[in-house]
Structures are given as structure tokens and as C-alpha cells.
Structure 1
């Protein structure tokens, strides 16, 4: 009897095992990145390390060719680069096909890369109408290379793109632009840095979203270390 009792108890114990113990472990659940996240900077050491993405231009983007009829306003503001050449500073005409940061490299198939702003303007003035303007792809974004725990807790992750500082878009901006944008931040006047996933940054390189005010960011350079940027022109 004792033997049968022990067998029966063993069988009962097996039956009473929780059902979850008989199943394989559940597969890990993928955690989606937040659509965007913001950190507040009040001076001192920044809680993230920023760097320009390794590629020169935005991936999946191509050079842009624009046909301009000279009896119409082009709707672009150009600024001279310190190493020569001109880039789109702002798009007051709201031309969706052209984004800030693109460099004008040719006018009617004549290269203007590396030229001064004055020389480029002369080429534009002497060109026939309509004329063809060639631009580079949008520049690569500024991304998070590393971050402190405080930024990580706010949802910032490596590879995220810096979208804006306060109301100034950083899509197409440079590291000196960012440095100038956060300069002077304090408890009384904090700087809000907004980050988005990398794939969202790629999409925004060509079209800045409507919820990001189109404030000029390349104008920031005129008062910082890039002293050669002293002139710009709207066409």
C-alpha cells in the first residue's frame, strides 16, 4: 500500500505543476523607440555626446536638380561657407523640394563648388532662363554617440538624431550650430534638445515637419567661430 501511495502522490504532484512551468520561455518583446524625446540643458556638462554621422550626406537621398524660371522668385536664401561654396541657409519660399544644408554645386552644368557668394550670384544673374541648379543631397544628421544615465532615463539612445534645440531645427545644422544654440543656457533660460529615431531623421532631412518652426539655423554661424560667414542673400 505504501508503494502505491507514494506513486499516487508523485502523480498528483506532477499534475499540480503550474502550466507556465511546462511551456518554453516567452520570446523577448521588442521595445520600440519613442517617436521623440526631449532633455533640458541648463549649463555645465551636456548629458549626451553628439557627433556628425559618418556619411557625408543623408542615406537614401540623391542630388537635387531644380529648374528655375528667372521671371519668378527662387525662394531660397544662400550663405557662404568658410571653405568656399554656398549652401541653402533658409527656405522662406517654402520650396518643399529644397532643404536647408544643401550646397549649390552647379548652375547650368557649370560648377560653382568652392566659389564665393558673390561669384555664385554673378553666375545666377548671367544664366539664361530657365536655368538648371544642382544641389548636393542633404547633409548627414547630428546623432547621439553616447549619453549619461540621466539622458538614457529620458529615452535617449545611441544613434538618435538631434531634431531641434528649443524652436530651432537642427536638421542639416553643424556641430558649431548646436554649440551656439545651447550657449548661455541656464536654470532661468534652459535649452530643450529634442531627439528622434534615426529613420525619422532621414525623412525630415528633405522636408522639415510643420510642427517645427522654420527658424534659420545657419545664421547662427555668423556670430560664432565660423567668422567667414558674413554674407547671405535671398533670391
Structure 2
């Protein structure tokens, strides 16, 4: 199944489906509509998986994805335009420029702890760049994983955007495919597995690995204000 999904995405990218700015804008608009029209279902799914309250899902997941989609949508034309670059005098009268091109077919592997944000935010950026995207949500948050797959099937262009659900076996199968970029969020142990598998195809990788967040408090601060802020950060998403 994963091989068939990859081939479908590769075919879509190769035929140029994802390249036009109109397609990219259309998909970002569809994604924003998908989230806006299904906010309560998303809140309920995240609560079923993690017990996360509605206000936190809105603030730390839904609003951040919508904000990212709005941010990149306004800047896509500038980012994808030609940008003139000066040429060395020995090369005159030559002219030069740079232009940003999509990478191709991108794999996004997301974790369970921010199941919507860390699935859809990287996908937003990959779509804005003109890539075909395969999303692998975490099997440890099954309700939001199923809902995300269902909504993307309903709202997005499934010739170029796909969701593969499952566990380690499906992830291993996906990593065997020659993706053009892999974005992984999670821990170091699985990160090493992702990077090792990617090296077989010389696939570039973005690893967003979890870790500690130390905080230093010195004598110049308001202790009451610092304590409130540290406690807020400590218990966010807990």
C-alpha cells in the first residue's frame, strides 16, 4: 500500500500538478476551510486521545496551523519569484538570478503529543513550496489520526496529498521509499532510525527532536512574574 501511495504522489509531482501557485493557494484554502468547519470534531478527537481541554487545542494547535497557513499564503509569490543576483565582471554581459524550486515528494512523520499541529503545520509549508506530501500521523493518538485522514480525503487533492495510518511497520515501509525530503518530529531513538533509512536513498532530513527546556532565573527578574510564566510553560500540553 505504501508503495502505491508513493507512486501516486510521484506521478502527481512529475506531471506538474503541485507546481502552479493557484494549486498551492487552493490547497491552503481547502486546509483552512477543513479546520474551520471541523473545529469541534478536532477538539473532541484530541480530547479522546490526550484529555486535552478545548481551549488548549484551540490555542496551541488549531490557531497555530491556521496562522501558519495565512502566513505562507501571503508570501508564496515572493518566495517563488526570480530574484536577480549580480554577476562577476568577468562574466558580463551575463545576467543571473535565483529561483526556489520544490523538492518533490515529501514525507511528514508526526508525533502524538501535538497531533494536529505537528502533522499539519509541516504539511502547510511543504504544500506552499509546491511539493506532493505524504503524512504519517502517530498511531499513539488514533482518534485524531483517523479524523485527519478522513478530512484530508474529503477536502484536499488526494492525487498529491495522502495520509498513511499505521504503526512501526507502515513507517518502516514508507522510509524505504525514495522521498525527496523527510520531516520527522519525535525522539532521538526513532530519529536515528529515520536518518539511517533516509541515508539509503540520500534523502535530506529535517529532525525536530524533543529535549529539555532549561530556564534560568537570576536576581534581576520579578520572581512572581517568572514563577507564573514558568508554571504556564511547564504545564502547557501536560
Answer whether TM exceeds 0.5 for this pair: no
Structure number with the higher helix fraction is 2
Q: TM-score, normalization: structure 1?
A: 0.25
Q: TM-score, normalization: structure 2?
A: 0.24
Rg larger for: 1
